[in-house]
Amino acid sequence: MNTALSQWRQTFRSHAAFAAWHAANAAVLDDQWRPTIALQAALRDRKASAAVPGYCWICQGPSQFLYDLEYSNGHDVNWRERLVCARCGLNNRLRLTVQVIDAEGLRGRGYLTEHVTPLARLLLDRFPGLVTSEYLGPDHAPGQVSRQGIRHEDLRRLSLADASADFVVSCDVLEHIADYDTALRELARVLVPGGLAVITVPFLAHSPDNLVRARLEGGRVVHLLEPEYHGDPVGGQGVLCYHHFGWQLLDDLRHAGFADAWLDLYWSADYANLGGPQVFVMARR
């Protein structure tokens, strides 16, 4: 790693602490968004693309990071899902996820809540014995392996044994589970005491409460807001988003059996982690 590179990180355990910090440091966040204004201007139409130089944590070297209007509202770059490294192909969020895993020094037995993704392939090389899975539908039993070699797990009823994982990584999965609190209890159950969960979700940094976009009533989906679908790496049809999370999620994690929960916010121009702070929800068993 090039030690001359810098990265900004802040840790918060409550909405009140974040709000107080934000009020006193608004200029810091303005500075973090400012570089993206000029970059956004380089995109003249929906099909345009551009790149920005930086240092890739995965490749351990300089690279170019592609951005465009994919996965966006058609006008504003989705910085979290773009800034794709031209060498390793990982976007902003995924590159930073690996960096967080490395920074936390995770080791031992792990569980990753995905399998058919570039992140899964990379982490399987780094962690021999890592358990990876996808949700393949209600007709599959927990732990069942498909003919394609994909292990099925439902986060609401995992087949993993109690205290069988030293760490869990879950990237943008919980928002697709209507009764996500059940999944939180399962993640706590399979972790050893002191084990760490690294979680990313759509997060509303200024909201103390979760935003419920849809819910299940008698097995039927009831939409409270315009339906929102995210990419499905298995079926390709899109997966309904039930929640955008607020600071309530930290309390939900504590109620689910975690001893501590907090938010880490990251940003770095050097590592091409642009577009304002990225949020990582961290929880210690």
Domain ranges of the chain: 8-284
Q: What is the chain's length?
A: 285
Look at 200 and 235; give whichever has higher pLDDT.
200
State pLDDT tens for residues 14-30: 999 999 999 999 888 88
Residue from 280, 283, 272 nearest 7 by CA? 272
Helices 180-190/248-255 angle, 10° precision: 50
Yes or no: say if 168 and 132 are a contact pair by the CB < 8 Å rule.
no
Beta strand 211-212 with 243-244 is: antiparallel
DSSP 242-257: -EEB-THHHHHHHHTT
d(Cα 211, Cα 201) in Å, to the nearest integer? 12
For 59, the enclosing helix (H) or strand (E) is none
Residue from 199, 143, 142, 200 nearest 167 by CA? 199
Q: Domain 8-284, what fold?
A: Rossmann fold (3.40.50)
The percentage of the chain sitting over the pLDDT mark of 90, rounded to a whole number, equals: 85
State pLDDT tens for residues 166-218: 999 999 999 999 999 999 999 999 999 999 999 999 999 999 999 999 999 99
Yes or no: say if 186 and 159 are a contact pair by the CB < 8 Å rule.
no
Mean of pLDDT values over 90-99: 96
pLDDT of residue 74: 86
Q: Model-level pTM? A: 0.93
pLDDT of residue 43: 87
Is 1's pLDDT higher than 70?
no
For 26, the enclosing helix (H) or strand (E) is helix 26-41
Yes or no: say if 282 and 201 are a contact pair by the CB < 8 Å rule.
no
